[in-house]
Structure 1
Amino acid sequence: MSLPSNFEDLIAEAEGLNLYKKLIIQLNKDLLYANIDLEFDHETLPTSLKLVLNETVFHLIQSKFSEYLNLLYIVDVSELKIKKLDGSDTLQLSEEVTFLILQREWQKVWYKNNILS
């Protein structure tokens, strides 16, 4: 599996395989496990998903850093990928982390659909 390199490719692949709703379900499950008070409706548009998740990640970085780290742990975002990011601009960092979260969630959904079924 080659991972999508940007948000648009990720969404196009998820929608092309009819797995976008499963992506939202997986994200909701991990947000719940991480005790993040956020749940996406299954009909959430991709642009809204990205925007709201990004705002949440930004807020967590700014004011609830331990919850942010817990979310990364629950989602299982690569520590190496996080360490490679430039943390000098929190807004840019939150956007990049948001994509890494969605990318990891996509890996889980793709794997469950293709390997386990």
Structure 2
Amino acid sequence: MDKLQSLNDLVDKPIDLYFYNQFLNQINKDLIRTGIDIQNLGQFSPKELHEEIQLLIKELLSTDVKKLVALFYLIDIPEKYLQQSLSTDVITPSETISFLILKREWQKVLTRIKYSQK
């Protein structure tokens, strides 16, 4: 698997099933640790996953920004990226933030798999 550079890398390219399951497990684990439960996460296609995360971010932006910041902290995304994504006019903040979350989770799984093979 390569680095996740854009949303198209997740949605349009074929993904190894083992890697994708590890990716979903990592996302689910971090969401649950933040007190967020997305039902049937393991059944989502990459596109559905992005859409569901984006809906979650929209909800957190309007109802619980503290939980969103806690999620960023737990996933290990610097708060400056959150601030940058909220100030951009290119795409919606929820789309940018959801991609940052997916990208960081992707990196975590890549690193874990890389070092578990050595």
- TM-score, structure 2 length as denominator? 0.83
Equivalents in 1 of 2:38, 2:69: separation in Å? 16
The superposition leaves residues 15-68 of structure 1 with CA deviations (integer Å, 9 ceiling, x where unpaired) of 147411111000000000001132443231111111111000110011111111
Comparing 29-38 with 95-104, greater Cα deviation is found at 29-38
Aligned equivalent of 1:6: 6
Identity over aligned pairs, percent: 28
Runs of 4+ in 1 over 3 A off after TM superposition: 86-89
DSSP 3-state at the match of 1:83: helix
**Residues 64-103 of structure 1: pairs in structure 2 closer than 5 A:** 64-87=64-87, 92-103=92-103
Equivalents in 2 of 1:26, 1:32: separation in Å? 10
Equivalents in 1 of 2:43, 2:111: separation in Å? 22
Offset of 1:81 from its aligned partner? 2.4
- TM-score, structure 1 length as denominator? 0.83
Equivalents in 1 of 2:29, 2:23: separation in Å? 10
Equivalents in 2 of 1:72, 1:39: separation in Å? 20
Q: Which runs of 5+ in 2 are unaligned?
A: none
RMSD: 2.3
Offset of 1:98 from its aligned partner? 0.2
